[in-house]
A = this chain, B = another copy of it.
Amino acid sequence: MIKFTERAPYAPVEYLYDVEEILYKGKSAFQDIMVIRNPYYGKMLILDDVVQITERDEFFYHEMLTHVVMHAHPNPKKVIVIGGGDGGVVREVLKHKTIEKVYFVEIDEEVINISKRFFPSVSSGVDDPRVEIKIMDGADFVAKRKAADIDAVIIDSTDIIGFARSLFTPEFFTSVKNCLTDPGLFVTHTESLHFHKDMVIEIQEALKNVFPLVDLYTAAIATYPGNWWAFAVASKGESPREIRNKGKIKAKYYSHEVHQQSFIPRGMYERLMKRELEW
C-alpha cells in the first residue's frame, strides 16, 4: 500500500495514511496542494504535507469553528471568513437564515478551485450570491475596513506558521475589533491543547490585550495531530458561552448542549492561564 506521511509542524507524532489514489498534486504561489483518496476518510485535502480536511470528518471542525460564534451572536448578518479556501466555514455560515453578506477572504485562489473540483459538498456555498470572494491577505482586508458593521470574523487558517502568521498579531486583532459591531465576535483555531499549550495561552493573552472578553473551547478532531483542538473566541463583552441566536440549523455534531459543554471549565482555564497545568 502507498502511504502518505503527514509532517505537521510542532507535532511529536507523524500520522500515516493509506493512499488508494493520488487525485491531484500541484503547486500554487503559496503552497503544495495534494488531494488523495483514503479507504476510511475518502478524499483528503493536503496543503504543504499537512491534512486540512477529509470528506468523512470535515464537519467536526467546520461546525465547531463556525456555530459557536454564530449562536452566541443574537442575529448575525455580516460575516468575514478568512482562509478556509475549501469553503466549509462559508457553507456553515450560510446555514443561518439571518446572513446577508459573507466576505470570503482567501489568499490562495487555487485552494478554492481545487475544492470546487474535488470537494463539491464542502465548497457548496462559495458561489452563493451573498458570498463575496476576495483573493488577498486577510489581515490587509480587515485593516482597510472603515465601518464597524461585521457580526463575526472567523479565521480558518492553516497551522500558525509561515504566511498564516499575519493573522495572529496584535495589529490584526485590533483591526478585527475595530470592524466588529457591538455584540460582534471573533474566533480562530489555536492548535492542540495537548501539543501546543503554550501557543494556546499566548494567543489568549494577546487577545486579552485587545478584547474585553476572551474564552476558550475545544473539540476532538481526529485528523489534526494532538486532536484536542483549541478555539479562541473574543468579544466586546458578551460571553460566547451563552446562546442568543435561537434560529434552527441542521448539524451533524454541533448542538446547543455541545456548544456549552465545549468551553474549558473555569477552574481549568484559570490554571491554564497561570501556567499551572503540567503537560
B15 engages A14 (CB within 8 Å): yes
Closest to A192 in B: B222
Are the CB atoms of A279 and B252 closer together than 8 Å?
Answer: yes
Number of copies of this protein chain within its complex: 2
- Tell me the A251-268 residues at the B interface (CB within 8 Å): 252-253, 255, 257-258, 261, 265-268
Q: Is A39 part of the contact surface with B, judged by Cβ < 8 Å? A: yes
Q: Which of B5, B57, B193, B226 contacts A16 (CB 8 A)?
A: B5
Q: Which residues of B are found within 8 Å of A267, using beta-carbon distances?
A: 255, 257
| B252, A258: Cβ atoms closer than 8 Å | no
Q: Per-position contact with B for A187-200: 1 when CB-CB < 8 Å, else 0?
A: 00000111100000
A227 to B18, CA, bound (A): 19
Q: Which residues of B contact A56 (CB under 8 A)?
A: 279
> Quick check: is A220 within 8 A (CB to CB) of the other chain?
yes
Q: Mark A11-25, 1 if CB is under 8 A from B, else 0.
A: 011111110000000
Closest Cβ neighbor of A269 among chain B residues: B257
CB contacts (< 8 Å) of A257 on chain B: these are 265-268
Q: Report if A118 contacts B (CB, 8 A).
A: no
From A15, A39, A57, residue with most partner B Cβ within 10 Å: A15
- Of all chain B residues, which has the CB nearest A271? B255
> A40 — which chain B residues lie within 8 A by C-beta?
12-13
Max count, chain B CB within 10 A of own CB: residue among A13, A15, A277: A13
A278 to B250, CA, bound (A): 12
Is A228 part of the contact surface with B, judged by Cβ < 8 Å? yes
Per the bound structure, the CA–CA distance linking A57 and B59 in Å amounts to: 28
Closest B residue to A59 by beta carbon equals B279
Complex Cα–Cα for A278 and B223 (A): 17
Query: Whose C-beta in chain B lies nearest to the C-beta of A14?
Result: B16
Chain B residue at smallest Cβ distance from A222: B194
A172: interface (CB < 8 Å): no
**Chain A interface (Cβ within 8 Å of chain B)?**
3, 5, 12-18, 38-41, 56-57, 59-60, 192-195, 218, 220, 222-223, 226-228, 252-253, 255, 257-258, 261, 265-268, 277-279
With contacts A60-B279, A258-B265 known, what are 15 further pairs, Cβ within 8 A?
A5-B16, A14-B15, A14-B16, A15-B15, A15-B16, A57-B194, A57-B279, A192-B222, A193-B220, A194-B222, A222-B228, A253-B277, A255-B268, A261-B261, A261-B265
